[in-house]
Structure 1
Amino acid sequence: MAGMLYLFHGEDILAAREALDLLLREKIPPEVWDLAVSRLEGESLTPAALIEHCQALPFLSPCRAVIVEGLGKRLEQKGEGEAFLARLRDLLPRLPSSTLLIFWERARLAATHPLVGLVRPLGEVREFTPPRGQDLARWIAQEVRRQGAEITPAACDLLAATVGTDTWALRHEVEKLVTYVGPGGRIDERLVDELASEARLSDIFALVDAIGQQRRARAMLELRRLLQAGHHPLYILSMIVRQFRLLLEVKGLPAGERRPEAVARTLGLHPFVAEKVVNQAQRFSREELQRIYSRLVEVDREIKTGRRDGEVALELAVVEVAGRQ
């Protein structure tokens, strides 16, 4: 019997994390995760190391889990990527029955991506797409109820317009709002406006503006303001990543569809946010946006895997991408 093989991909990181946690709980007792679960960084992983982890026998558990994050980009490269693919083609059909192998990509992979083509015939491919439009409003309402409160439709719409489709950031905002109103309380538009972020969103815009203008000192000042306001580094990072993802999406639109009203309609943004995004997108080339976005995703991984302290990682990233002024 072959091993268990999965590919998780897509931008809804919260949903992917929850699915991964559920899958691990189904297969391995949580009390032995430290011994039975290996997490590997795809950027530095060698084929030999992956094979070694996959062939290791489980200890105090019915199976062993191997989670590989961020391998997809390497597999698209010529030379090294092609060689890695060849090793995977040999490994995956012969995966030990006691091994649970999960590839996790924090971005959506095209149907033609080599990793999708490798996993689909042998295992399960799951795409995690963030909710949008009315689906996003329903997600917010359900999350508020799950945490023990109620929210008005207008408050749902405002929260979605302010925070966007990042469900991790939305959950953080909902926690703050529910804590404020208490169990059984009601969240309305006024409360969202007060607590959830016009000021914080303006600070995010100011930080991105400073990066676009290559004003390092100003960017660091805006970052420190966000940190001093008590926001968690991962929360700040999620908002910055979301902003640069929007800028990339705007750059990818045909020239005639980059007007604020068209962007608001196409990307499902509040008109105020769409206007700011359109103006900011003009400060960057597509290549600059891709470089910055890739660096921010790498910082996210560094923080979540404990390789770097959150505040330190954020400050280093801003220093790197914001120029010398």
Structure 2
Amino acid sequence: MDSPAPGAEKPCIFLLFGDDTHAMESFVHGMIARMGDPGMAELNTTHLDGKIASDEDLRTAVSSLPFLGDRRLVILNHPLARTQGAEGKKRFLALLDEVPPFTALVLLVEDQPFRGDWDTLRAGHWLRKWVAEAGPRALERVCGLPTPGDMPGWIQKEVRKQGGTISPEAARALAAAVETNTELATQEITKLLTYVDGKRAVEAEDVDLLCAPMGQGNIFDLVDAAAEGRTANALRELHTLLEFQDPLLVFGMLTRQYRLLIQAREILDAGGGAGEIAREMNQRDFVANKLVRQARRFSMNDLKAVYHRLLQLDEDSKSGQNDLMTGLDIFVAGA
């Protein structure tokens, strides 16, 4: 499943965290692909949610022998939900110490940047310390979204990964269209490479023809209306976006916008202004000015509460508790 140096100890615990959920999903999909036959891989893969699974569920999953294979893969979302209180943390660490070499336990933690670090798994967090001290038994992977300035390079790398080529101008044009949405960028790259059919590099004209921009202005208008209590206007903006975009992409746009506002609010709270936001967040001046105006409508606690509501909406839609379209309506009505 993994590819350490010959004779080296394979990691048993993988800690993946950050705000690039697409990167985390890709990492996990790569692990599953390396398990060989898809049918056997499915038999040897267990998905658990730390908010629902019991300690016994987790202990059984990690200790069960693989079926006709070398390793079992256990994927645990929301692992920190199993660590409430001193006793919960103690039990969880004991379980990590007992993970056998035939099991790969993947811990997935969605997080967001905050004050130059991460909101939950900060540099001194006990779980990150445990991973660092575990040596070759554990591996940490930070999955952070690229900055707008890094996005063209990320796109060029992904194009090469998919077996194609793209001009620098086209990479910049696609970055402008998708912003830092790596999942959307991956989809658009696949579409562009299919269009050119491997006969030539993707050019800026192809991006203009096939890739619609995400619609930054409408997102600003939507958040403005929601912040001011103009619910009818906010819902109208939402439904306009949904006429042209898939609900999943609109959700990504909303999530990104509130993440930008958290970063902008942090800079404002530290005494900065539009200039610092433009420079530190690598945004154009007109976007920085809009972020200042909008971030001042919220406190940091308000923004973090809204962001956590978005994370809950994502969880509910993935678990089938609520469809995303309805969830977006409810979110905007209560924002």
The TM-score, its normalising length taken from structure 1, stands at: 0.83
Give the distance between the partners of 1:153 and 1:189, measured in 2 at CA: 12
**Structure 1 counterpart of 2:280:** 266
**What's the offset of the Cα at 1:254?**
4.6
Q: Is the 8 A contact 2:149 2:282 kept in 1?
A: no
Paired residue for 1:104, among 90, 108, 116? 108
1:29 aligns with 2:29: no
**Structure 2 counterpart of 1:116:** 128
Flag the 1:22–1:207 CA change in 2: closer, same or farther, 3 A.
same
Paired residue for 2:152, among 109, 132, 137? 137
Give the distance between the partners of 1:171 and 1:74, measured in 2 at CA: 33
Q: Secondary structure of the residue that 2:74 maps to in structure 1?
A: strand
**What's the offset of the Cα at 1:50?**
1.6
**What's the offset of the Cα at 1:63?**
2.4
Paired residue for 2:88, among 84, 97, 103? 84
Flag the 1:255–1:271 CA change in 2: closer, same or farther, 3 A.
same
Flag the 1:212–1:193 CA change in 2: closer, same or farther, 3 A.
farther
Flag the 1:191–1:65 CA change in 2: closer, same or farther, 3 A.
closer
* Matching of residues 176-325 of structure 1 within 5 Å: 184=200, 186-188=202-204, 191-192=207-208, 195-197=211-213, 200-229=215-244, 231-255=245-269, 258-319=272-333, 321-322=334-335
Counterpart residue identity of residue 71, structure 1? P
Counterpart residue identity of residue 103, structure 1? L
Q: Secondary structure of the residue that 1:214 maps to in structure 2?
A: coil
Q: Secondary structure of the residue that 1:105 maps to in structure 2?
A: strand
Q: Is the 8 A contact 2:273 2:292 kept in 1?
A: yes
Give CA-to-partner distance per residue, 1:92-147, whole Å, 9 cap, x none.
Answer: 22223332211011224222112212333331111122233553221123334555
Give the distance between the partners of 2:123 and 2:33, measured in 1 at CA: 29
Flag the 1:94–1:71 CA change in 2: closer, same or farther, 3 A.
closer
Query: For structure 2, which runs of at least 5 residues remain unmatched after alignment?
Result: 1-8, 112-117
**What's the offset of the Cα at 1:266?**
0.5
Counterpart residue identity of residue 204, structure 2? D
Give CA-to-partner distance per residue, 1:251-277, whole Å, 9 cap, x none.
Answer: 111547543232111101122322222
Q: Secondary structure of the residue that 1:169 maps to in structure 2?
A: helix
Aligned length: 315
* Matching of residues 43-62 of structure 1 within 5 Å: 43-62=51-70
| Aligned-pair identity (%) | 32
Q: Secondary structure of the residue that 2:96 maps to in structure 1?
A: helix
The TM-score, its normalising length taken from structure 2, stands at: 0.81
Q: Is the 8 A contact 2:70 2:102 kept in 1?
A: yes
Counterpart residue identity of residue 171, structure 1? T
Q: Is the 8 A contact 2:13 2:105 kept in 1?
A: yes
Flag the 1:182–1:282 CA change in 2: closer, same or farther, 3 A.
farther
**Structure 2 counterpart of 1:167:** 182
Flag the 1:113–1:74 CA change in 2: closer, same or farther, 3 A.
farther
Give CA-to-partner distance per residue, 1:240-295, whole Å, 9 cap, x none.
Answer: 11110000001111547543232111101122322222221112121111011011
Flag the 1:2–1:188 CA change in 2: closer, same or farther, 3 A.
closer
Q: CA RMSD in A?
A: 3.0
Q: Is the 8 A contact 1:2 1:95 kept in 2?
A: no
